[in-house]
Amino acid sequence: MENFIIIISIVLGIIFLLLSIIIVNQKQAKIIQRLGKFQSVRRAGISLRIPLIDQVVGVQNLQIQELRVPVETITQDKVTLKIEVAIQYLIKTDVDSIKNSFYELADSTAQIESFVFDAVRAEVPKMELDMVYENKDNIANTVMEGLNSLLSNYGFDIKKTLVVDILPDSKVVDAMNAINEQKRLRQAAEEKGEADKILIIKAAEAEKESKKLQGEGVALQQMAVLKGREKAIKDLTVGTNMEIKDATELVMKLIDQDTLISMGEKNKNVIFMTSDIGMKGKVMEAMVGADVVNAQHKN
């Protein structure tokens, strides 16, 4: 009988000891109540409690958690949007914060979602669609500041708030893509037109320079011709005692004759003949005079 009592006592002792042990995982905290009243917060590791009197009523996660909240709203220009907001938060590690986060808020997740709905729907309707994309960081900061102000007294610390997605209606997306495509095509056309304009200007400048150089060449050629004519007239008047008027007329006729001969060489089927006998005589006189002048130069 005594042995049976001892065995029973040992078994009850082991059960009591097992019921007294509390094991808490890393980055967790357990809430202990004694007879229905908050008693303590137990952190990571092993600790003891009074069985049946002390009860574990809650486990709080002390890691950084993320909550994604999809919000449907409308912009100032009447575009329906679905905005997804990511909330990264944690529970502070001091005893009061852990206690308040458990006891003060019946459903912290639902209350965070409600505030996000309210904050986003208060900001987005003030903006047009393009402004929503441009100011998504401002929207996120507004939500973060409001959540910290609301939840800091309940032991929550909002680490970061992000607007991770902005989804307009599919028809609006198609319209935006069409606008962007037309914008790019217009920009490409403008750039091509500008390139063509530059090519035209460069070609015009090159043609202008070419004509300028060509004109200078013609001017020099004409100057050389004039000097040649002047020398020929001078030689005729000196070598043959011919009047300047006659010498000039003779030189001009010789030039005309050279032109006709050149034209005849280009077209073998045409023969040019002159009937100006007076010119022939003058030509002969000019040739004799030219021989005399050349002889004088040689001597």
Q: Are residues 39 and 99 in the same domain?
A: no
The reply to whether 190 falls in a domain is no
Q: Are residues 80 and 161 in the same domain?
A: yes
Q: Are residues 53 and 100 in the same domain?
A: no
Q: Are residues 85 and 145 in the same domain?
A: yes
pLDDT tens, residue by residue, 17-33: 888 899 999 999 999 99
**Average pLDDT, integer, range 121-148:** 89
Q: Are residues 43 and 75 in the same domain?
A: no
CA-based torsion, 249, 252, 256, 257: positive or negative: positive
pLDDT tens, residue by residue, 190-201: 777 788 888 888
Task: Specify the CATH number for the domain of residue 95.
Answer: 3.30.479.30
Q: Are residues 164 and 71 in the same domain?
A: yes
Number of domains present in the structure of the chain: 3
* Cα–Cα distance measured from residue 47 to residue 114, given in angstroms and rounded to the nearest whole number: 38
The reply to whether 9 falls in a domain is yes
pLDDT tens, residue by residue, 239-264: 666 666 666 776 677 666 666 566 56
Q: Are residues 86 and 119 in the same domain?
A: yes
The reply to whether 33 falls in a domain is yes
The reply to whether 54 falls in a domain is yes
Q: Are residues 43 and 126 in the same domain?
A: no
* Cα–Cα distance measured from residue 201 to residue 204, given in angstroms and rounded to the nearest whole number: 5
Q: Which carries the bigger pLDDT value, residue 230 or residue 201? A: 201
Q: Are residues 35 and 124 in the same domain?
A: no
Q: What pLDDT is stored for residue 191 in this prediction? A: 78
Mean pLDDT, the chain, whole residue set: 79
Greatest C-alpha distance within the chain = 176
| CA-to-CA dists, residue 161 to 71, 158, 273, angstroms | 14, 8, 105
Q: Are residues 71 and 110 in the same domain?
A: yes
Q: What percent of the chain has pLDDT over 70?
A: 69
The reply to whether 88 falls in a domain is yes
Domain membership of residue 114 as a residue range: 65-168
Among the ranges given (83-97, 109-123, 159-173), the one the predictor scored with the smallest mean pLDDT: 159-173
Q: Are residues 85 and 143 in the same domain?
A: yes
Cα Rg for the chain, rounded, in angstroms?
55
Q: DSSP string of the chain?
A: -HHHHHHHHHHHHHHHHHHHEEEE-TTEEEEEEETTEEEEEE-SEEEE--TTTEEEEEEEE-S-EEEEEEEEEE-TTS-EEEEEEEEEEEE-SSHHHHHHHHHT-S-HHHHHHHHHHHHHHHHGGGS-HHHHHHTHHHHHHHHHHHHHHHHGGGTEEEEEEEEEEEEE-HHHHHHHHHHHHHHHHHHHHHHHHHHHHHHHHHHHHHHHHHHHHHHHHHHHHHHHHHHHHHHHHHHHHHHS---HHHHHHHHHHHHHHHHHHHHHHH-TT-------HHHHHHHHHHHHHHHHHHHHHH-
The reply to whether 203 falls in a domain is no
- Residue 278, pLDDT > 60, answer no
pLDDT tens, residue by residue, 99-111: 999 998 888 888 8
Q: What pLDDT is stored for residue 37 in this prediction? A: 92
The reply to whether 184 falls in a domain is no
Last residue of a domain, one of 143, 168, 193: 168
Last residue of a domain, one of 145, 168, 191: 168
Q: Are residues 158 and 82 in the same domain?
A: yes
* Cα–Cα distance measured from residue 101 to residue 108, given in angstroms and rounded to the nearest whole number: 8
Q: What pLDDT is stored for residue 273 in this prediction? A: 54
Last residue of a domain, one of 153, 168, 183: 168
The reply to whether 286 falls in a domain is yes
